[in-house]
Chain A
Amino acid sequence: MIRRNTIPFGPQHPVLPEPIQLRLVMEDEKIVEALPAVGYVHRGLEKIAEKKDYIQDVYLVERICGICSFMHSQNYCQGIESLMNVSVPDRARYLRVVWAELHRIHSHLLILGLAADAFGFENLFMRLWQIREIILDIMEKTAGGRVILGVCTLGGVKRDIPPALQDEILRQLDEAERQLSDVLPALVNDYSVKQRLVGIGVLPKDKAYELGAVGPVARASGLAMDLRETCYAAYGDLDFKMVTETAGDCYARTLVRVKELHTSAELVRKALKRMPEGPLSVPVKGNPTGEVLARIEQPRGELNFYIKGNATRNLERFRVRTPTFANLPALLHMLTGCQLADVPVIAICIDPCISCTER
């Protein structure tokens, strides 16, 4: 008779960059049930946002995540701008795309490297993170910071990217893509890598939709969902093409991220090329009133901010729903029926960001 055991996976585990616990109910080596336990890095950021004024919140919100920080401030600014009927200058819309897509590239390289580390390919992990340094260097040159950029502001952006720097960015992007063309075949074609990823953690398309999966997790299952299609910022002018796969396994999720590296690099190139001259921001006066659900496409998927203003400088309510939070029910489905040895790879392939999730 097979005995059932419960194994705690995490909160501290070599494969997890941040703390989350998965309680795994096992029958021998097979998982029959999984439950998440969170709360290890809950900071009460939603409450703090209500205590600060809505302008200070731009800086606070950027610190929700230490990976896709710019996109948090971008989504917050877009939400407040929509509440206050502020039209952002065209140049600022393009600059926001440039920084957002640079963030997507560095975030995808980060998680692809961690995935390589999870399935034991340390050399690949180090090479991918080496290439990520090129992107972080670009961000440092344009904004002064490598991850927390502090360039998004209500009404536009704070910094410009002058023509000389644009040329430098294009050269560095070409160099990053050249290096990636050497490295990525190992990730995509290697026999051992495929053995660890193909057919593992399968999430069928209908389940992905029912469980509310978002981002590369949803797109790898064949769901054509990417908020960049809604043409926020300057995406409507950049011929954005969504990447999807159909297998719904860890390999498909990896492929989506690999292809999105090139899509993002192309979007940066187009945005720099088509960026019009003009002011960087417009003044924002008054206080926000009303409520909005602001959404953008983060590297991990759809980011939702509910913002409710009450005509004072403090928000009535600020709520954050991050993509990892939306992908947790899908993760539980993927884990059920898999082997214990596959848990690290499955967990890392949803690209979990726990500090975002817990706020």
Chain B
Amino acid sequence: MLTDVKEIEIEHLHKEVWQLKRDGYRFVTMTCTDLGDAHDILYHFDLHYALKHLRLKLPRGTALPSISSQFFAAVLVENEMQDLFGIEVSGLAVDFKGRFMLSDGAPVAPLNKAPIGIGLDVRVKTPAPAEGVAQS
């Protein structure tokens, strides 16, 4: 189970990350989960095989401050989150502008949960059959 999780507010993110860096922690990765009205952002750090996690709840439409100026290793996963969850990450050391993992024409924020409904994923668009193709 995930232990040593510290819940933080967005305005304290950089201070907490600096503290971990000063304590000698290594950046492992980040995890984003769609909670509906917000995204659950987890930062994972490691020191001598012991993990420490920072957790913040990011309301939809709020920009996430990048930690890539503190841990450059975070820049790729932050770009990935920008692509796959549609989160705006501000202050990225390298900003791929939503084209790190996805290309033009790809579904928007594909890892967000589908809206509650009758089970149809509205993001999947079925192309209309070409003219003259017989319908079975």
Contacts and interface: CB of A to CB of B under 8 A. Distances in A.
B10 interface: no
Contacts of A293: 2, 28, 44, 51, 53
Given A227-B49, A291-B1, A291-B2, A329 B75 contact: yes
B31 A358 contact: no
Contacts of B51: 293
B43 to A, nearest CB: 11
Given A290-B1, A293-B2, A39 B33 contact: no
A302 B111 CA distance: 24
B1 A210 contact: no
Nearest to A36: B76
Interface string A132-174: 0000000000000000000000000000000000000000000
Contacts of A108: none
Contact of B1 (A83, A304, A316, A319): A83
Given A42-B101, A293-B44, A212 B2 contact: no
Prevailing SS type, chain A contact patch: mixed
B136 interface: no
Interface in B48-83: 49, 51, 53, 71-73, 75-77
Contacts of B110: 44, 47
Shortest 10 CB-CB distances between A and B: which pairs?
A212-B73, A321-B29, A317-B33, A306-B31, A291-B2, A39-B101, A319-B31, A329-B73, A212-B27, A230-B49
18 contacts: A38-B100, A39-B101, A39-B103, A42-B101, A46-B111, A47-B111, A211-B72, A227-B49, A229-B49, A290-B1, A290-B2, A291-B1, A306-B44, A316-B33, A319-B32, A325-B29, A326-B29, A329-B76
Interface of B: 1-2, 26-29, 31-33, 42, 44, 49, 51, 53, 71-73, 75-77, 94, 99-103, 110-111
Given A47-B111, A227-B49, A325-B76, 13 more contacts: A35-B94, A39-B102, A42-B102, A46-B111, A83-B1, A211-B72, A212-B26, A293-B51, A321-B77, A325-B29, A326-B29, A326-B73, A328-B76
